[in-house]
Amino acid sequence: MSWEILQELLGKVQNHETAVGKVWLSIVLIFRLLMLVVVAEEVFEDEQDKFVCNTKQPGCVTVCYDYFFPVSPIRFWAIQFIVVSTPTLFILVHIASRHARAQTEELTGGLIFTHLITVVFKLLLECGSVVIYLEIYAKVGLVIPRLLKCSEVPCPSRTDCFVPRASEKTAFSGFMLLVSGMCAFVNLLELLYISFKKCREKNSRSEMTKQTMTTKNMEECEELKKVENAPSEIKDREGDDA
């Protein structure tokens, strides 16, 4: 996918996002995608090449690295970005269908409902990805140690393994988790905002219905009064003619 197509899609989404949704989009693009593309590769490019253990047993280093890091952090965050951003496609599909029917572009009716479902999915996926991350790297922990003890086969005994740039990786991993927390918080705010907007729209429709019914009732009363007063007006006219 070229950058022109991506820019066009982002423009369509941003035009139909709420104010809170635009904040989420900015966080995802700047603090997640940009950091992932620019910084993560520099920090984790040597993660396996420079992961060494104090043994010459063939396969020990590979097995120990796979034990502590079953999934490459860069690949995990890339998958997380794709998965969390996927629900936004629902909005693009809804926008396309509205344009095909030549409907308004305002955030009303079905588009609000689509936004609501999308935000719920994004919130669940965001929280789920954090839980999965903590489960995958539970053996290492949030603070990546410089030294790891490995006793996996085929290592001959409890082997010392050394993690390169451990402090830098800890800082970057913590930053990515912080971004996930920010995105989840913004999603929660947007969920409350859309729910409030939906309730306000419903109340507005109820008020309009009440006003319409009141106006209609008043008109019916006026018509009824005219009908009731018609015989007396006819008699008055007949008396005047006599």
What's the mean pLDDT in 3-11? 60
pLDDT at 208: 64
- Residue 55's alpha-carbon distances to 50, 154, 204, in angstroms, are 14, 11, 73
The single-letter DSSP state of residue 142 is: S
What's the mean pLDDT in 197-226? 64
Residue 201 C-alpha from the chain's centroid: 23
pLDDT digits (tens, 9 = 90+) for 110-126: 567 778 888 899 999 99
pLDDT at 105: 46
pLDDT at 223: 65
pLDDT digits (tens, 9 = 90+) for 75-110: 999 999 999 988 887 777 766 665 544 444 445 555
Tell me the domain boundaries of the chain: 3-241
CATH of 3-241, one of 3.30.70.20, 1.20.1440.80, 1.10.1040.10, 3.30.530.20: 1.20.1440.80
pLDDT digits (tens, 9 = 90+) for 38-64: 888 778 876 788 889 998 888 999 999
What's the mean pLDDT in 183-195? 90
Residue 240 clears pLDDT 70, i.e. is over it: no
- Packing angle, helices 3-15 and 88-100, rounded to 10: 80
